[in-house]
Structure 1
Amino acid sequence: MINLKTILGASLLALACTSCPALAHPPIDAKQAAAHFDQDRADILAMAGNYKVRFDMQESTRWDPAYTPIDKKTSGGHEVVRVIEDTGRKIVLQHILVVKHDGQDMVIKHWRQDWEYEPERVLVYADTDTWKWEDVPEKMRSGRWSQTVWQVDDSPRYGGWGQFETQGGIRRWRSNWTWRPLARRDAVRNPVYDRYLAINRHQNTPDGWIHWQDNTKMGSKDGKLVPIVQEYVLNTYTKFDGYNVQAADDYWAATRDYWAAVRAEWDDVAQKKGGIGIKEQADTGTVISAELMQLANDIQNKTTTTAKAITKARKLIADNTRQL
């Protein structure tokens, strides 16, 4: 016999679950947050080290029937990750690539990630050439960390907030949905999409850590942003010392004061101008990226002083950013 009461109960449960995704990460009470704080910090700090990196990128599902997904692409290299700031509630990790060029070791300052505990707001990618402050909902701040990612010239790339969680015996940090501009790997192809909507996950492994991205590539169609294709990116950082790690540390020792001043200038602009508005140059970062990077090289090569380079960098940033 059909039990109408059972059917009605199941139907009500199904209706209630329309809000289940929002309840998947409910507010964290202060006691629970305090209990996990030290482990959160340890997981973030564990990303520092010397690594062999593999970048694995795959366009998969096409959402636009006129689009043909590109072939899977893998690349790799050697990367040093250093803690350059740790105040307890804020941790800053700087990535530095070491590559071979014409038989010589070449150092390239790479991306930077800032982690902040229980932030009130995050600098996020808002639209072309524009990064704005976005408030974190008050009830979602407790126990959570924001991650802000910066480009090679320390200009912003994307920001988001999320929490550490354990599922299936694996502890990971998972972001909210975040917008980000084109990466160089796509920008050089002049694609029909011009930004990503993504979720990021960071997970420690026995051999290092992984950064997993679920990217929806979005483009403009009839004046509206629409999904073009789905992409999955898995960046694997495996502990490895078999390369010229010292070259990266020497570069940072020579240029860290310069880059500290550059970071401070970007922060000052973001505070005073309501965010950061600057022309993007997707294959390098911003229109001033090459000049800011060259100033650092000049310091290391002793063709300029740190003080002179800082003065030029501040002017470059001031002259190329706008009020939002």
Structure 2
Amino acid sequence: MNPIKSLFGASLLAVALAASPALAHPPIAAEQAAASFETDRADILAMAGNYRVSFDMQESTRWDPAYTPLEKKTSGGHEVVRVIEDTGRKIVLQHLLVVEHEGKDMVIKHWRQDWEYEPARVLVYADRNTWKWEEVPEKMRTGRWSQTVWQVDDSPRYGGWGQFETQGGVRRWRSNWTWRPLARRDAVRKPVYDRYLSINRHQNSPDGWIHWQDNTKMGWKQGKLAPIVQEYVLNTYTRFDGYNVKAADDYWAATKDYWAAIRAEWDKVAAQKGGIGIQEEAETGTVISARLMQLADDIRSGKTSTSKAIAEARRIMDENTRTL
């Protein structure tokens, strides 16, 4: 099923596409792209560091008159962001949460963001349990970057493409419209909405950076997707070293080879199976997430070797992904 066609119908689809960045922004000239390339890279790389993070989520405008918006929710924590790959035209940033549990510091491998310059295609959320390749229009590739966000087990979450721009003296990267599966905070509630239609922005600040999301939460009505409520999410990353940063770096040193193999295996699945099809569950994300995460913990604790963990993970991933 094509969720966009199901949502809008012919006339509303035309309106939605006319408002999208793909048409709102003209193609970028090669000279302009070359002039801003290093600045773009610097902005992406500047997101690496040690941070205190606040997560500010608010359902604001209801589109369904029968729906009651949730109360504003705020939370926070400490997060380390590391550059784990930089080839010039591709930059990969790994996020690691450091939390205190029963008097001890614990590290939770968090999300990952891959940035690719002038991509021909992007792996995007297509429907429940399904991520497919989507071509970037050829005339819209020059000077633009894609951002693909991956979950804690390095399975996909969402992907999009867009450009860096300066408005009102503020430089930011803004995505095209992207579909996303429900975040766990919503999925565990069994809500009336089914997925998000979103615009994603990243902006550097004097103190760090912000990740700003504009989410339309969509639900099924009479066989079609319809808007339920608008949500605004502002994640603020403020540079801060006053926590156990070493715990995150130690975790990564012990498990990075394992996670490199996992990333490569997801890439292989996406290439060979036409995308990634895998069952998800509300509590954990993919049905294999807990098992892949546990293998990393077993490596760190010495219960298994990296090579044995990789072999087991590959078996699990092969058995639980399908050809699209």
The reply to whether TM is greater than 0.5 is yes
Aligned match of 1:270: 270
Are residues 1:196 and 2:206 paired? Answer: no
Q: Which residue number in structure 1 is paired with residue 161 of structure 2? A: 161
For residues 313 and 133 of structure 2, what CA distance do their matches in structure 1 show?
23
Q: Which SS does the other structure have where 1:165 is aligned?
A: strand
Q: Deviation string for 1:95-139 (max 9, x for gaps)?
A: 000001111101000000000000000000000000000000000
CA deviation after TM superposition for structure 1 residue 248, in Å: 0.2
Normalised by the size of structure 2, how large is the TM-score?
0.93
Q: Is the 8 A contact 1:175 1:200 kept in 2?
A: yes
* Pairing of 1:122-161 with structure 2 (within 5 A): 122-161=122-161
Separation (CA, whole Å) in 2 of partners of 1:20 and 1:182: 24
Distance 1:66 1:101 in 2: 40
Aligned mates of 2:185, 2:100 — CA distance in 1: 19
Mapped contact 1:181–1:282 kept (Cα < 8 A): no
Aligned partner of 2:171 in structure 1 is 171
Aligned-pair identity (%): 82
| Offset at residue 23 of structure 1 (A) | 5.1
SS of residue in 2 equivalent to 1:38: helix
The aligned residue for residue 4 of structure 1 is none
SS of the residue corresponding to residue 243 of structure 1 reads coil
Letter in 1 for 2:179: W
2:313 alignment partner AA: A
Where does structure 1 differ by over 3 angstroms across 4 or more consecutive aligned residues? Answer: 18-24
Matched, 1:104 2:135: no
Cα separation, 2, equivalents of 1:247 and 1:107: 7
| Residue type of the alignment partner of 2:264 | A
**Number of the residue aligned with 1:311:** 311
Structure 1 counterpart of 2:27, one-letter code: P
Inter-CA distance 292–43: structure 2 relative to 1 (3 Å threshold): same
- List gaps (5 residues or longer) in structure 1: 1-17
2:66 is paired with a residue whose SS is coil
Task: For 2:193, give the aligned amino acid.
Answer: Y
Report how far residue 20 of structure 1 moved.
Answer: 7.7
Q: 1:23 to 1:128 in 2, by over 3 A?
A: closer
CA distance in 1, matches of 2:41, 2:247: 28
**Given the two structures, how large is their TM-score scaled by the length of structure 1?**
0.93
Task: Classify the secondary structure of the residue corresponding to 1:249.
Answer: helix
Task: Report the secondary structure of 2:80's partner residue.
Answer: strand
Q: Is the 8 A contact 1:153 1:292 kept in 2?
A: yes
Q: Which AA in structure 2 matches 1:122?
A: V
Match of 1:282 in 2: 282
Partner of 2:53: 53
Pairing of 1:89-100 with structure 2 (within 5 A): 89-100=89-100
Give the 3 Å change call, closer, same or farther, for CA 19–290 of structure 1 in structure 2.
Answer: closer
Cα distance in 2 for partners of 1:217, 1:283 equals: 19
Q: Shift of the alpha carbon at 1:284?
A: 1.5
For 1:1-324, what aligned pairs fall within 5 Å after superposition?
24-324=24-324
Q: Give 3-state SS (helix, strand or coil) of 2:122's partner.
A: strand
CA offsets, 1:134-156, max 9 Å, x none?
00000000000000000000000
Deviations 1:40-81 (A, max 9, x none): 000000000000000000000001111100000000000000
Gaps of 5+ in 2: 1-16
Determine the C-alpha separation between the residues in 2 that align with 1:112 and 1:284.
Answer: 16
Q: In structure 2, what is the Cα distance between the partners aligned to 1:20 and 1:257?
A: 43
Cα distance in 2 for partners of 1:242, 1:47 equals 18
Q: Which amino acid aligns with 2:174?
A: R
The count of aligned residue pairs is 307
Distance 2:251 2:176 in 1: 34
Query: Is the partner of 2:28 in helix, strand or coil?
Result: coil
Q: 1:84 to 1:19 in 2, by over 3 A?
A: closer
C-alpha distance in 1 between matches for 2:90 and 2:56: 29
Alpha-carbon distance between aligned partners in 2 of 1:282 and 1:111, rounded to the nearest angstrom: 16
**Structure 1 residue 24 displacement after superposition:** 3.3
The one-letter code of the counterpart of 1:27 is P
CA distance in 2: counterparts of 1:190 and 1:19, whole angstroms: 33
Contact kept, 8 Å, 1:92 with 1:112, in 2: the verdict is yes
Structure 1 residues 102 and 203, CA gap change in structure 2 (3 angstroms): same
Asked if structure 1 preserves the Cα contact closer than 8 Å seen for 2:18 and 2:24, the reply is: no
Whether the 8 Å CA contact 1:200–1:211 is kept in 2: the answer is: yes
Q: CA RMSD in A?
A: 1.1
Q: Distance in 2 between matches of 1:226 and 1:24?
A: 23
- Following superposition, the deviation at residue 282 of structure 1 comes to 2.9
